[in-house]
Amino acid sequence: MAEQIREALRSVLDPEIGLSVVDLGFIKEIRTDTDPIHISMVLSAPFCPMAGMIVEQVRLTAETAAGGRKAEVEVLQEPWRPPWLDDMLA
Digitized pLDDT (tens) for each residue of the chain, 90 residues in all: 999 999 999 999 999 889 999 999 999 999 999 999 999 999 988 788 899 999 999 999 999 999 999 999 999 998 887 776 655 454
Q: In which element (H, E) is residue 29 found?
A: strand 27-31
Q: Which CATH superfamily is domain 2-79 in?
A: Fe-S cluster assembly (FSCA) (3.30.300.130)
Using alpha carbons, list the distances in angstroms from residue 35 to 22, 30, 77, 86.
Answer: 22, 12, 23, 28
The whole-angstrom distance between residue 29's C-alpha and the CA centroid of its chain comes to 9
Predicted TM-score (pTM) of this structure: 0.90
CB atoms within 10 A of CB 67: 8
- Which phi and psi angles does 27 have, rounded to 5°? -85, 110
